[in-house]
Homo-oligomer: A and B are copies of this chain.
Amino acid sequence: MKESDVMKKNKKSDKVIVDPWGKSLVEDYSRLIKEFGMQPFDIEEMPSPSTQMKRGIIFGGQDLSVIAEAIKKKKKFYCLTGIMPSAEKIHLGTEAIIQQVKYFQEMGAITYVLIADVESQATRGVPIEEGKKRAMNFHIPAYIALGLDPKKTIFYFQSENKEVSNLAAICAQKITENEFRAIYGSVHPAKVMSAFTQMGDILHPQLKEAMPGVIPVGIDQAPHIRMSRDVAKRLRSEYGFFAPGASYNKYTSSLDGSFKMSKNEDIGKIEIPEKDRKELEKKLKKALTGGRVTAEEQREKGGEPEKCIAFEYCKNHFIKSDEVLGEMYRECIGGKNLCGECKQKYLVKYANNFFDDFDEKFEKARKIVGKIRFEQ
């Protein structure tokens, strides 16, 4: 969809409603930045920007200058993310979020990871005890394997954190029915319960001490950020809350090039872990590329990496080395490899490295997960 189509589509309402529970196709990041009152991501202001930031995967944010300031002046700030302990799988999009959290943690953020066992029970029928077990067996060690430092992370279960549910009830006083509808598109009671529980999650670190915070998210979570900022401002006089900041990463495409990799699609999906490497290779080889119609044309004009899912996956997830990624890029535009060759040389190889590394770190993390103390 081009910008003009998006404009046309949204002409009536004059607003983009992004539904964090559904799938919306949103391609025009600059329009989103405007619609959601974000600021474009400014790499100049961030201290020691991450690879992810340098590669443009972080495209926008809210109050990131406040966070940059806190980092530079070594002031307290927090970073929060969540685990939905339904399936024992992690979405590549979630990997992108964890990379963000890792960056802020390394920059000194007090880091919270909540396990959304209440929401998982309510929305996906996973009993609380089962959700806890899955989080302990899989999600928490997986988050650690992907880069979180367990010694510097405060984990908690929604089902055990009364501060969160108590704060949720307070937050709900501050938003009207019409405001909720404008942000979320409808006022289904389950959405209300879920959204305010998330408000409780996002704001509760400030109950002990008000401080800036940053919530790294995909764009589908923008409504939660918007509402939590409104709520925080309205509770400021009573609780001193800072409006939480946010950093947004781009969606991860499906292998076939369609927008956003969803947990609900069952074809063309790369998830973490990928135990069956032959299956992985088969799936990766189906990835849409930016190749030309004929081999001759490809040799002559070179490929188009910006249209290539293989390149996107390598850039966003599998190849952490800028040198290697640069090589892949140059070989592509130089027409050195046909797409099949390139996939073998880069996508398949580095995906395998990525999953080998994950498996090894995951097994290590499982051994220490019993020692983690949870916030009540």
Contact = CB atoms under 8 A, between A and B. Distances in A.
A119 interface: yes
A184 B78 CA distance: 39
A169 B194 contact: yes
B119 A169 contact: yes
A189 B175 contact: yes
A276 interface: no
13 contacts: A121-B169, A121-B170, A159-B162, A160-B162, A172-B189, A172-B190, A172-B192, A175-B189, A177-B186, A177-B188, A177-B189, A187-B187, A192-B193
Contacts of A177: 186-189
A197 interface: yes
Task: Determine chain A's interface SS by DSSP, over half rule.
Answer: helix
A260 B177 CA distance: 28
A123 B121 CA distance: 27
Contacts of A189: 172, 175-177, 180, 187, 192, 195-196
A122 interface: yes
A118 interface: yes
Contacts of A170: 121-122
Nearest to A194: B169
A264 interface: no
A128 B193 CA distance: 20
Number of copies: 2
Nearest to A128: B166
Interface in A186-222: 186-190, 192-197
A223 to B, nearest CB: 13
A356 to B, nearest CB: 39
A121 to B, nearest CB: 6
A168 interface: yes
Interface in A357-373: none
Contacts of A13: none
Interface in A121-180: 121-123, 128, 159-160, 162, 165-166, 168-170, 172-173, 175-177, 180
Given A162-B165, A165-B162, A122 B188 contact: no
A26 to B, nearest CB: 24
Contacts of A175: 189
Interface of A: 118-119, 121-123, 128, 159-160, 162, 165-166, 168-170, 172-173, 175-177, 180, 186-190, 192-197
B173 A190 contact: yes
Contacts of A121: 166, 169-170
Contacts of A162: 159-160, 162, 165
A186 B176 CA distance: 10
B168 A193 contact: yes
A212 to B, nearest CB: 24
A21 to B, nearest CB: 12
A170 B187 CA distance: 16
A195 B189 CA distance: 10
B187 A172 contact: no
A118 B180 CA distance: 21
Contacts of A195: 189
Given A177-B187, A187-B177, A188-B176, A118 B193 contact: no
Contacts of A192: 172, 187, 189, 192-193
Contacts of A194: 169, 172
Contacts of A128: 166
A339 to B, nearest CB: 46
A226 B186 CA distance: 23
